[in-house]
């Protein structure tokens, strides 16, 4: 038995020695055609070996030596039927080496502890038709087919490996060089990279580090990545990690982006951003990418464009039927000079009152005889996504003389319906509170707006007024309008609702009217009061709006010496006026007012003059105040907002002694009840004794 065991061991050792000798002296180049054929079948493209194929034995561990295989000058062509965009092969590998553990071979398993590739060039291409040369069709095994060989590749080392990426469809031509780092490198990085080329005709350079290639297979292990890319004057830097990269399950990187203008991004990403001042942004970019509802989140970012700043968190969620953009933003300063081009606002005439008449996207130009904007409001893109974004800002500047402050906005876009609930801000020392809803689902827009203005200081509202040595009042107002159309002009021209305005005690003048751009009011003021400054006790106006026609429910302007009432209508649809203006003296101390006036014509070309037929029996100011006192009493809160001063407006202090009735009283009966009247008696008034 002992002799048999000795002979058995001796035979096995002899066979092993013979095998080693055969392997050592065998000309492995004879197997190059067979190896190339099997490789071609595996990668589904022609493969040839133009250099030497060699096998050496190396003792690593265990009782058996390990074969060390080296291959020189491997050439792989493009797939059959692919139209290459450049001359040359798909891959040329100058050097390839691998070790194989011999023991698992007996169980049809190939264990490769290390694969090294050096001095190689790989060409990845996609032509203009969208066909690429890297596509690989996985063959499904038949149920009755025996299990094939399995491969376990444990590490890869790259030495001077170049990858040329050419994409005709996306105008990409990029060369990237890879080199493996030492195995002892920290932070999990496995290789570095360096790139140069063009994308959309923009020159790009960059470099960085990424994790080891094989860590891509390990779904639970973060795959680190770090890099900086430059194109023109734009710089992009990222540093972070990916998890489960094969399915791109998650991304967590710090992102920095900076450049001289946002328009420089157009060539890179195919956008249509306008020219802006220099910008920069820094934040944390997170992504959950499962293929169905991908989520991108730019978290805690801080950005600057020119002197404007923006910070917050934005999230973009891919979903059906539309993606959703949500987030919360804040800013200390936003300047239209910096950001105006991004939102389609011309800021070239900032602070100068300039207005450029440019056609809209439909070629619709502003007519010379129209004051209200006719430019089309496009809503075609509103159905591309939904939005839910909140914004808080300390200051927004378009006109340096009239900045907005304490801005609060909640922007909602859902199923082509855009709303601001609310849109509140401070301006001219007062506040504007708004809710706006615009339905863009149909061919025309349907808009609803509610606005409340409180405490707007005239001295701040109109440029140049602060230079006047005078005391100015405050403007208050309420508006509720609903209309349909595709422009500001058509929306107002079809609107229904109501509009109320009140102006508290202060000085008014021709200069103030000109500064406000109120052409009609300016002409009327000159005819009533000349060029002098006049102390205004109050002005209160109340309009009902139906199908774009504003009808006066009540209107009174009262100075220290006179009361002016107005009746008639203003057509927002036709931009025409039809107003009857009646002045009355309160005293005989200063001057005597002229006959009643009319205001007709258009907004652009108003016609203001003295009525042709004087009124024979003119009502006194006391009667006028009595008529309008009841409807105007409902507007008392507009004048009393934010002040404890007694109201000096006689029209709002009228009692039953002033009389009243007619259309003004009738209009008042249509308003909600419960408004309190002032207890003071009306001021002393006198009829104008001198007819004109």
Q: How many CB atoms neighbour CB 529 within 10 A? A: 20
pLDDT of residue 359: 59
pLDDT of residue 676: 35
Token code pair at residue 209: 């580090």
Domain boundaries, the chain: 1-133+149-169, 495-669
The CA distance from 281 to 300, in Å, is 11
pLDDT of residue 23: 66
In the chain, which residues have pLDDT < 70?
1-6, 9-10, 12-13, 15-17, 19-25, 61-63, 139-147, 183-186, 216-220, 244-249, 269-272, 291, 340-363, 463-471, 509-523, 525-527, 530-531, 587-594, 612-692
pLDDT of residue 517: 56
Answer yes or no: pTM beyond 0.75. Answer: no
Strands 445-457 and 474-485: antiparallel
3-state secondary structure 90-102: CEEEEEEEEECEC
Run of H or E residues at 392: strand 386-397
DSSP string covering 570-637:
EETTTTEEEEEEEEEES-SSS----S-EEEEEBSSSEEEEE-SS--SSPPPHHHHHHHHHHHHHTTHH
pLDDT of residue 283: 96
Return the ∠ at Cα 470 (arms to 467 and 474), rounded to 5°. Answer: 100
In sequence order, the 6+-apart residues with CB closer than 8 A to the CB of 220 are 243, 244
pLDDT of residue 272: 67
The CA distance from 491 to 418, in Å, is 15
DSSP string covering 456-488:
EEHHHHSTTGGGSSS---EEEEEEEEEEEESSH
In sequence order, the 6+-apart residues with CB closer than 8 A to the CB of 28 are 53, 54, 55
Look-up of token digits 């021709």: 510
pLDDT of residue 80: 85
Supply the DSSP symbol for 23: H
Contact predicate 264/233, CB 8 Å: yes
pLDDT of residue 170: 78
Token code pair at residue 681: 């008696």
Contact predicate 327/297, CB 8 Å: no
As a whole number of Å, the CA-based R_g of the chain is 41
Tell me which residue of 611, 636, 402, 374 sits closest to 517, measured CA to CA: 402
In sequence order, the 6+-apart residues with CB closer than 8 A to the CB of 63 are none
pLDDT of residue 589: 46
List phi, psi (to 5°) of 215. -70, -10
């Amino acid at each position: 038995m002992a002799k048999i065991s000795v002979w058995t061991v001796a035979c096995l050792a002899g066979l092993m020695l013979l095998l080693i000798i055969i392997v050592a002296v065998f000309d492995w180049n004879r197997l190059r055609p067979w190896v190339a054929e099997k490789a071609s079948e595996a990668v589904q493209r022609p493969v040839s070996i133009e250099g030497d194929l060699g096998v050496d034995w190396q003792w690593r561990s265990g009782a058996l030596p390990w074969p060390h295989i080296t291959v020189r000058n491997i050439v792989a062509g493009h797939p059959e039927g692919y139209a290459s965009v450049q001359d040359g092969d798909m891959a040329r590998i100058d050097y390839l080496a691998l070790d194989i553990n011999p023991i698992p071979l007996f169980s049809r398993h190939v264990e490769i502890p290390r694969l090294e590739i050096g001095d190689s060039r790989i060409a990845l291409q996609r032509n203009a038709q969208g066909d690429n040369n890297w596509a690989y069709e996985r063959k499904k095994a038949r149920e009755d087919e025996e299990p094939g060989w399995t491969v376990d590749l444990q590490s890869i080392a790259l030495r001077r490996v170049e990858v040329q990426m050419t994409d005709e469809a996306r105008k990409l031509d990029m060369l990237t060089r890879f080199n493996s780092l030492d195995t002892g490198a920290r932070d999990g990085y496995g290789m570095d990279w360096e790139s140069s080329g063009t994308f959309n005709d923009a020159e790009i350079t960059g470099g960085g580090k990424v994790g080891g290639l094989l860590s891509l297979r390990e779904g639970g292990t973060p795959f680190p990545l770090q890099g900086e890319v430059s194109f023109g004057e734009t710089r992009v830097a990222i540093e972070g990690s990916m998890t489960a990269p094969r399915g791109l399950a998650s991304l967590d990187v710090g992102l920095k982006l900076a450049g001289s203008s946002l328009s420089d991004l157009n060539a890179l990403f195919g956008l249509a951003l306008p020219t802006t001042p220099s910008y920069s942004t820094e934040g944390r970019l997170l992504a959950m990418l499962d293929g169905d509802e991908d989520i991108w989140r730019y978290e805690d970012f801080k950005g600057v464009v020119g002197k404007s700043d923006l910070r917050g968190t934005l999230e973009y969620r891919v979903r059906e039927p539309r993606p959703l953009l949500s987030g919360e933003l804040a800013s200390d300063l936003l300047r239209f000079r910096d950001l105006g081009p991004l939102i389609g606002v011309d800021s070239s005439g900032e602070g100068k009152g300039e207005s450029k008449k440019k056609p809209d996207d439909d070629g619709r130009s502003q007519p010379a005889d129209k004051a209200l904007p006719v430019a089309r409001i496009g809503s075609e893109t509103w159905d591309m996504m939904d939005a839910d974004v909140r914004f808080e800002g300390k200051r927004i500047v378009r006109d340096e003389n009239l900045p907005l402050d304490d801005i609060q906005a909640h922007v909602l876009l859902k199923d082509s319906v855009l709303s601001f609930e609310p849109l509140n801000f401070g301006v001219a020392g007062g506040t504007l509170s708004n809710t706006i809803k615009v339905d863009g689902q149909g061919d025309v827009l349907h808009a609803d707006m509610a606005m409340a203005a409180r405490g707007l200081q005239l001295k701040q509202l109109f440029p140049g007024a602060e230079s006047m040595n005078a005391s100015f009042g405050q403007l208050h107002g309420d508006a509720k309008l609903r209309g349909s159309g595709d422009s500001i002009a058509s929306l107002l021209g079809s609107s229904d609702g109501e509009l109320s305005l009140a102006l508290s005690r202060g000085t008014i003048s021709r200069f103030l009217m000109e500064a406000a751009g109120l052409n009609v009011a300016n002409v009327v003021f000159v005819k009533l009061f000349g060029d002098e400054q006049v102390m205004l006790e109050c002005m209160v106006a109340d309009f009902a709006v139906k199908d774009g026609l504003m009808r006066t429910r009540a209107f009174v302007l009262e100075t220290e010496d006179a009361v002016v009432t107005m009746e008639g209508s203003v057509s927002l649809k036709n931009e025409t006026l039809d107003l009857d203006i009646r002045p009355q003296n309160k005293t005989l101390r200063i001057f005597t007012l002229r006959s009643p006036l009319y205001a007709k014509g258009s907004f652009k070309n108003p016609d203001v003059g003295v009525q042709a037929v004087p009124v024979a029996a003119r009502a006194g100011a006391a009667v006028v105040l009595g008529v309008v006192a009841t409807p105007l009493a409902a507007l008392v809160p507009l004048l009393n907002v934010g002040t404890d001063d007694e109201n000096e407006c006689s029209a709002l202090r009228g009692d039953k002694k002033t009389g009243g009735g007619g259309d003004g009283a009738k209009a008042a009966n249509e308003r909600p009840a419960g408004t309190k009247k002032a207890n003071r008696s009306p001021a002393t008034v006198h009829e104008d004794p001198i007819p004109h």
